[in-house]
Every structure is written in C-alpha cells, then in structure tokens.
Amino acid sequence: MLKPITLETNLIKLQPMTLQHLNAFCLAGNYPQVWQHMPINRCQSHDIAKVWMAEAINEMAQGLQLAFVTIDKKTNKVIGSTRLFRGNAQDQTIELGHTFITPDFQRSYVNSHAKYLMLKHAFEHLKMSRVEICTHENNQQSRNAIARIGGHFEGILRKHRRSPNGDFRNTAMFSIIDDEWPQVKTALLNTARSSEEFDTN
C-alpha cells in the first residue's frame, strides 16, 4: 500500500499530483522534445492531460502508485512530473518512471535531486529490493541519464509495451538493487553537491 507523501530537498519538491496542478502540468510538459519517443504528447491539451492525471490520482487513492509533480523551490513552479508505480510487495520491486522535466531544467540539478528522493524513499522507507527504470530503446538521452544515476543496464525487452495507438515499443531495462543503493546514494549526493548546495531537509 503506497501512501501519498511529499519529498523535498532545498531545491526541489515532489508533491502528490492533484488536478489543481493541471494548468501548470501542461505548461511544463507541452514541448515536442519531451514526448518525441512517446506515441502522444500527454500535455498537448488540458483534456488529454486531465485523463492521464486522473488515472494516476485514482491509482494513488488505491495505494497502487505515487504520482508527483516536480516543483522548483526557487520559483515555486511545476517543472515536471515523475512516479513510483507497479509495486510488487511480494517480490519487493517497484518501477520509477513516467518522468518528464521541462526543457529549461533538463541537465540541471533537478534529475539528481528527484532521483535521490525517490530512490531513498523506495529503498529506505518502502523497503524495496529492486527499483526498475525503463525507457524507449531509442531514447538515448534518457538512457544516458539513467546510467549516470547508477542504473544497471539489463538489456532490451522486445515488444515490451503497447501504446494506445496499438504500436509496440522495445524497452531498455535498467535496475538498481538494494545492495547497490549505498554506493548509488553516495554518488547522487556527490553529484548534487558538485552543482548546488544540497540539503535533504
């Protein structure tokens, strides 16, 4: 049972998603480059975004996922979104994904801070043994970002996910396991500190 929680450092806040975030969510994500490896731009209209967000909010109410908006604390603006979902209590696994960051904040402190918060929550509070991070096999920028935070590349899963338009995608599968978390945690903290003063509050 996943319970909504706010996670934050001194620079970003991961806040449980609500439909009150709809306008800001669309503004943050309505860029073609954000969705170039996806079959649809989920932020191209309020109607499309609202359906996607409502599904996540409904699953949060059932304890099936944690859906966040990412807020930049310097400006108090929504700059993206991310989730923990597909949790398996029996096997102690969970997936980290559905992540986007508005272009102005890509390759900044945001990704390392957000991944630190989510992985810390997954391993230290939810007591997961394995966190999976997936992306389209052709999304090299995302694959590089996952590798930089310590994701271990496990291979390509063929015809792994089916899109709403019926097309299948091949997925690049990465994982981090609990044995690796101390080393990954140290690296994330060092990365964050090298660019910005870091404080987990």
Per-domain residue ranges for the chain?
7-129+181-195
Question: Are 150 and 85 within 8 A, CB to CB?
Answer: no
pLDDT tens by residue, 112-166: 999 999 999 999 999 999 999 999 999 998 999 899 999 999 999 999 888 767 7
- pLDDT category of residue 201 using cuts at 50, 70 and 90: very low
Domain 7-129+181-195 in CATH 3.40.630.30: yes
Range with the poorest average pLDDT among 23-27, 177-181, 194-198: 194-198
Question: Is 28 in contact with 80 (CB distance < 8 Å)?
Answer: yes
pLDDT tens-digit readout, 62-117: 999 999 999 999 999 999 999 999 999 999 999 999 999 999 998 888 989 999 99
Please give the span between the terminal C-alpha atoms of the chain, in angstroms, as a whole number: 25
